[in-house]
Structure 1
C-alpha cells in the first residue's frame, strides 16, 4: 500500500451529464474525472474532477470533501440557501444535502467521497 499522490498521471473518464436522465437543470455540463483511489467496495473514492458550466441535481447519500483548484461554483440547497466557492476554497457537502450544483465558471476540484448508497 502506498500514499496516493494527486500529481500522478491517471486515466481520464469523460461524461456528458445530460446522458443521466432528469439530472441537468441548466446548460450542458461536461465532466472529466481522474479516479485516484477507490476502496474495494467503492464506498470511499478520491480523485480530481473538472466540469464545464451548468446546473444539475446534486448526488445524495454521500459525504463529499472538496478542494476547489480553479473556477467558481454555487451549491444551492432545496430550501434556496446558496453558498459560493471559488479557487482555493475547501468545503464539505454532508450526507443528507439535497439541492443543486451550479458551476458558474469551469471548475476543477480534488474530492474525497464516502458513499452511503445501499447502506
Structure 2
C-alpha cells in the first residue's frame, strides 16, 4: 500500500482541551487547545495545531519541537533569562534539553512538529 499525503485541516484532528498543569504555572490560568493530526508508526514524531490564552508556565523539553506561529504572540525565556518574543509568521525550533518558560501574550496559535528520541 502506498503512503498517502496527510493534510492538516482544522476541525479534522483529535481535540484535547485543558488547563496548563498547576505545578508548571507561573502566572494566570491559561487554557490550551491541541488539535493533533499525526503520530508516526514509531510513536516518536507528532504534529498538529496548539493554542492557548494568556498565562505563563515553566518549560522542560525532552523532545525537539518545530513551531510556526499562526497567530498571536508569546515570550520564551531560557534558564539564563534570555527572552525571545515570537509573533505571527515566526518559525523556530526548541531543542531537547531546553529549560525556561513560555508566556502567552493575549492568545497564540501555532503549528507544531515534535520529534522525540
Q: TM-score, normalising length from structure 1?
A: 0.89
Residues matched between the structures, number: 114
- Unaligned stretches of 5+ in structure 1? none
Higher strand share: 2
**What residue number does 2:88 align with?**
87
CA RMSD of aligned residues (A): 1.3
Q: Summarize deviations over 1:2-28 as a string: whole Å, max 9, x none.
A: 2221125223210111xx241111100
Partner Cα distance (2:53, 2:22) in 1: 18
Q: How does 1:1-119 map to 2 (within 5 A)?
A: 1-7=3-9, 9-17=12-20, 20-116=21-117
Note if contact 2:61-2:97 (Cα within 8 Å) is conserved in structure 1.
yes
The DSSP-based 3-state class of the residue aligned with 1:22 is: helix
- Unaligned stretches of 5+ in structure 2? none
Q: Offset at 1:60?
A: 1.2
Deviates most, 8-17 or 102-111 = 8-17
Partner Cα distance (2:76, 2:17) in 1: 22
